Amino acid sequence: MPEQLLFAMEVTLNGLMAGVLYALVALGFVLIFKASGIFNFAQGVMALFAAMTLVGIMDGQVPFAHLINATFGTDIHHFGWHVPALLAIILTTGVMVLLAIGVQKFVMGHLVNQEPIILFMATIGLAYFLEGLSDLMWGSEIKKLDVGLPQGINETIDQVTYDLFGYGFFIDNLDIVATVIAALLVVALVLFAQYTKQGRAMRAVADDHQAALSVGISLNFIWVLVWSLAGFVALVAGIMWGTKSGVQFSLSLIALKALPVLMLGGFTSIPGAIVGGLIIGVGEKLFEFLLGPALGGATENWFAYVLALIFLLFRPQGLFGEKIIERV
Amino acid sequence: MIYREAGDFSTTYPQDSQTFPIKFDRYRYYVVLAFAFLVVPFLINDYWANAILLPFLIYAIAAIGLNILTGYCGQVSLGTGGFMAVGAYACYKLMTAFPDVSMFIHVILAGFITAAVGVVFGLPSLRIKGFYLAVATLAAQFFLVWLFNRVSWFYNYSASGQINAPERDTFGILITGPNATAWATYLFCLIFCTASAIIARNLTRGTLGRSWMAIRDMDIAAEIIGVNPLKAKLTAFAVSSFFVGISGALFFAIYLGAVEVGEVFGITKSFLVLFMVIIGGLGSVFGSFAGAAFLVLLPVALKVVGADMLGWPTDIVAHFQLVIVGALIIFFLIVEPHGLAQLWRLAKEKLRLWPFPH
């Protein structure tokens, strides 16, 4: 096989893996949007916050250490213990649930019945708030996150492809793990939504807030549940991205990358988030590979948006979105 | 009993339809203008100009621009930073290509170029609505910044990839470059800011502004009663981008002097201007000023309180700023979705009745 084609295949595979990670973030968006009609811009920052909290708990960092030191002139930074990864993940999930309750109680609860655009802007405010808070709590330096996920080149794939084509594909173990976890997460979410009482209530709320209220479903509880789920998805995404490239501010920017994924897939569809993620992941990697050198490189910055924009011109509701019906 | 209209009779139509129908309000406006034009230039120094007044005036123009698009026409845009970059680079190319032409012309031309770019990126708004459009404008933001970063023609093939404002004057007074005086730069920006506000105010209460508001309130209904959505949306994009382009040109040429596009006109700038519009008040020219003033003064005030008085390191102050801005946005959306402008309206109403409660 010609070398260029092999490269292209490798790029495609890597794009698929990256797409899975985009899809993970997009999934959190879809969950909240379906259940409450809120376009949650803070999803990326939630991933950052979750990853930072996880690292902080694992390393036994003192929250707000910088602030305390600056105010009282002390010099504290660590409790001096190390929490095992699994326990830390459970604790962080707890923190995300608390965050969900807080968001519902202090922000979204007051904004019931407001226009969607107002809710959207409130989540932008939330994003800023969380970003500042996580920096204040845990410090803004780049942190290493290691929860024991395998990393590095996958030897088996390298060997097998070398035997087949005479060229070993470079696939990161972490990406494979991410793919498996994303698949499991989607299956779990779909099962939850289809077969549990809360899941059914969640779908009812998504369908019609008022009808759901009238049959005795607590909107408050469902929204807390949905925000907690989104927080958990953010945690998973945060772990994946954090392990890959360190826990730092740029983590919150993946939310911006998840937006075109959503547009492609449609805001209301879980399969759409996955397919959209894969299309964007493969598309931007292939585009950079094929045309990047001619255009001056770094096309990944904008390709996803332009692709989504052009796509939307032909299908405004995205691939799997519900058909938009407008009435006066 | 201050904002009272009693005894204030309109005897002609122009009197009836003037911007400030209440006499007290009108005189207040004249006093503010006179103070800004005739007193401030004599008091101003470099610190005041660079820390507060120039950013305030320039951001106010950008906020007016975005307010036209988002507040009046209902099209949420996250591409303001990108359009400001267009204004800045257009101004730079014009400044270097025609060094003898007055800066006034350059800035206005930069506005028109940005308006043209804005129309192109506004075209999708005819098909895409709401959130989808907000995300689509991100395409403009990222693509434009990438373009100015990669195509070296835009920065005249300079090695650093930066653009630097050369020294240019208008009517023989130096406006740009490090040797420009504070009062000259201030007056230059003030003229643009005042003109933008007056134009925006009069556009928004005319035919065009009404068609924008009709589109904002419900686009299908507007279409049915005969508002042309193509015309309304594209003019909103054009006018909005025109103002944003002017503010970008001023931001680069007058305020900063040197610009690295990814740093200065990144996505955070888009959000900053959007926040000004939200906090100030959607659909209000006064709100644009209030929002710009608020978000320009807030970091300065926080720095004074946090870094100078409490002695905190600057990074902690910066993080606090994020927390406070985020919390304020949520606060405003919950308590007063129409922003500072609505508070001002309420205050005026109270003053009108004062000292009686009702």
Across the range A301-327, mean pLDDT stands at 76
Please report whether residue B351 resides in a domain.
Answer: no
| Contact in structure between A207 and A35 (CB atoms under 8 Å) | no
Check residue B306 and give its pLDDT. Answer: 75
Closest residue in B to A40 (Cα) is B131
Name the DSSP letter for residue A42. Answer: T
Reported ipTM exceeds the 0.90 cut: no
Distance CA A24, CA A184 (A): 11
Please report whether residue A327 resides in a domain.
Answer: no
Q: Encode pLDDT of A236-294 as tens digits.
A: 888 888 887 777 777 777 777 778 888 787 777 777 888 888 888 888 888 888 777 77
Distance CA A223, CA A106 (A): 13
Across the range B165-181, mean pLDDT stands at 77
pLDDT at position B12 over 80: yes
Please report whether residue B92 resides in a domain.
Answer: yes
A107 shares contact with chain B (CB less than 8 Å):
yes
CA A233 to chain CA mean position, Å: 6
pLDDT-above-70 percentage for chain A: 90
Q: Encode pLDDT of B113-161 as tens digits.
A: 999 999 998 888 887 777 778 877 888 888 888 888 888 788 878 777 7
B99 shares contact with chain A (CB less than 8 Å):
no
Check residue B194 and give its pLDDT. Answer: 93
The DSSP bridge partners found for residue B164 are: B258
A302 shares contact with chain B (CB less than 8 Å):
yes
Domain count, chain B: 1
Q: Show the CA angle centred on residue A169, arms to residues A168 and A172, nearest 5°.
A: 130
pLDDT at position B330 over 80: yes
Distance from CA of B330 to the nearest CA of A (A): 5
| Contact in structure between B255 and B241 (CB atoms under 8 Å) | no
Q: How many CA atoms lie within 13 A of B132 on its CB side?
A: 26
Residues listed for chain B: 358
Check residue A324 and give its pLDDT. Answer: 67
List the 62-91 stretch of B: residues with Cβ below 8 A of A: 76
Check residue B177 and give its pLDDT. Answer: 73
Distance CA B173, CA B180 (A): 8
Q: Which of A260, A272, A304 is nearest to B131 (CA)?
A: A260
Please report whether residue A208 resides in a domain.
Answer: yes
Cis check for the bond before A63: say yes or no (omega within 30 of 0).
Answer: no
> Cα-flanking dihedrals φ and ψ of residue B163, to 5°?
-115, 135
CATH number of the CATH domain containing A157 = 1.10.3470
> Cα-flanking dihedrals φ and ψ of residue B5, to 5°?
-95, 0
Q: In this complex, which of B131, B221, B319 lies closest to A132 when CB atoms are compared?
A: B319
User: B220–A133: do the CB atoms touch at under 8 Å?
Assistant: no
Higher pLDDT, B56 or A205: B56
pLDDT band per the 50, 70, 90 thresholds, residue B301: confident
pLDDT at position B195 over 90: yes
Identify residue A26 by its one-letter amino acid code: A
Across the range B298-306, mean pLDDT stands at 82
Neighbours of A116 (CB within 10 A): 14
pLDDT band per the 50, 70, 90 thresholds, residue B66: very high
Across the range A54-73, mean pLDDT stands at 76
What dihedral do alpha carbons B117, B119, B125, B127 form, nearest 10°?
-110
Check residue B114 and give its pLDDT. Answer: 94
Closest residue in B to A135 (Cα) is B319
Across the range B189-207, mean pLDDT stands at 91
Distance CA B174, CA B168 (A): 6
Domain count, chain A: 1
**DSSP assignment of B101-126, as one string?**
S-HHHHHHHHHHHHHHHHHHHHGGGG
Interface test with B, best of A36, A64, A121 (most B CBs within 10 A): A121
Please report whether residue A319 resides in a domain.
Answer: no
pLDDT at position B1 over 60: no
Q: Show the CA angle centred on residue A17, arms to residues A12 and A20, nearest 5°.
A: 125
Please report whether residue B230 resides in a domain.
Answer: yes
Distance CA B265, CA B141 (A): 9
What dihedral do alpha carbons B143, B146, B152, B154 form, nearest 10°?
50
Check residue B199 and give its pLDDT. Answer: 93
Cβ-Cβ contacts under 8 Å, A249 against chain B = none
Distance from CA of A76 to the nearest CA of B (A): 16
Distance CA B136, CA A10 (A): 30
Check residue A166 and give its pLDDT. Answer: 67
Distance CA A276, CA A307 (A): 11
Check residue A1 and give its pLDDT. Answer: 60
pLDDT at position B244 over 60: yes
CA B231 to chain CA mean position, Å: 23
Q: What is the 3-state secondary structure (H, E, C) of A260-295?
A: HHHHHHCCCCHHHHHHHHHHHHHHHHHHHHHHHHHH
Domain residue limits at A126:
3-314
A141 shares contact with chain B (CB less than 8 Å):
no
Q: Which of B51-55, B141-145, B153-157, B270-274 has the lowest mean pLDDT?
A: B153-157
User: A124–B218: do the CB atoms touch at under 8 Å?
Assistant: no
Residues listed for chain A: 328
Question: Mean pLDDT of all residues in chain B?
Answer: 86
Distance from CA of A95 to the nearest CA of B (A): 18
CB pairs under 8 A between A and B: 143
Identify residue B266 by its one-letter amino acid code: G
Interface test with B, best of A128, A287, A325 (most B CBs within 10 A): A128
The DSSP bridge partners found for residue B258 are: B164
Across the range B245-267, mean pLDDT stands at 87
Q: Show the CA angle centred on residue B46, arms to residues B43 and B52, nearest 5°.
A: 85
Domain residue limits at B68:
44-263
Distance CA A194, CA A270 (A): 13
Question: Mean pLDDT of all residues in chain A?
Answer: 80
Distance CA A113, CA B201 (A): 31
Q: Encode pLDDT of B211-238 as tens digits.
A: 999 998 888 898 899 999 899 999 999 9
pLDDT at position B326 over 70: yes
pLDDT at position A168 over 70: no
Annotate A151-188 with b (16+ C-beta within 10 A) or e (fewer): eeebeebeeebeeeeeebbebbbbbbebbebbeebbee
Q: Which of A102-111, B161-170, B325-334, B339-348 has the lowest mean pLDDT?
A: B161-170
Check residue B83 and give its pLDDT. Answer: 94
> B352-356 long-range contacts, Cβ below 8 Å, gap at least 24?
B352/B1, B352/B2, B352/B3, B352/B4, B352/B5, B354/B1, B354/B2, B355/B1
User: A129–B326: do the CB atoms touch at under 8 Å?
Assistant: yes
Q: Is B74 left (phi over 0), alpha (psi -120 to 50) or beta?
A: left
Q: Find the DSSP H helices in chain A.
A: 3-36, 43-59, 65-72, 85-102, 116-138, 155-165, 173-195, 197-207, 209-214, 219-245, 254-265, 270-295, 300-314
pLDDT at position A55 over 90: no
| Contact in structure between A285 and B97 (CB atoms under 8 Å) | no
Q: How many CA atoms lie within 13 A of B3 on its CB side?
A: 16
Please report whether residue B87 resides in a domain.
Answer: yes
A316 shares contact with chain B (CB less than 8 Å):
yes
Distance CA A42, CA B211 (A): 33
Check residue B357 and give its pLDDT. Answer: 76
